Amino acid sequence: LAGEVEMNQGGGLRPREVAQGWFLPCCSKPLSNIEVER
């Protein structure tokens, strides 16, 4: 919902999902405070 992450591995996501803002928390590093929907 808010913030930025750097995702090093996107193996389970399609390019359009990444474009929609989806990310894999297990393969990501927060670059700012983040707010996610669960």
Query: In this predicted model, what pLDDT tens digit does every residue of 4-28 receive, in sequence order?
Result: 988 887 678 888 998 888 888 888 8
What is the extent of the structural domain holding 18?
Answer: 1-37
Q: How far apart are the first and last CA of the chain?
A: 10
Name the DSSP letter for residue 18.
Answer: H
| 32/9: higher pLDDT | 32
Task: Find the radius of gyration of the CA atoms of the chain.
Answer: 10
pLDDT for the residue numbered 10: 63
Element (H, E) at 17: helix 15-19
Flag whether the pTM goes above 0.75. no
Q: How many domains does the chain have?
A: 1
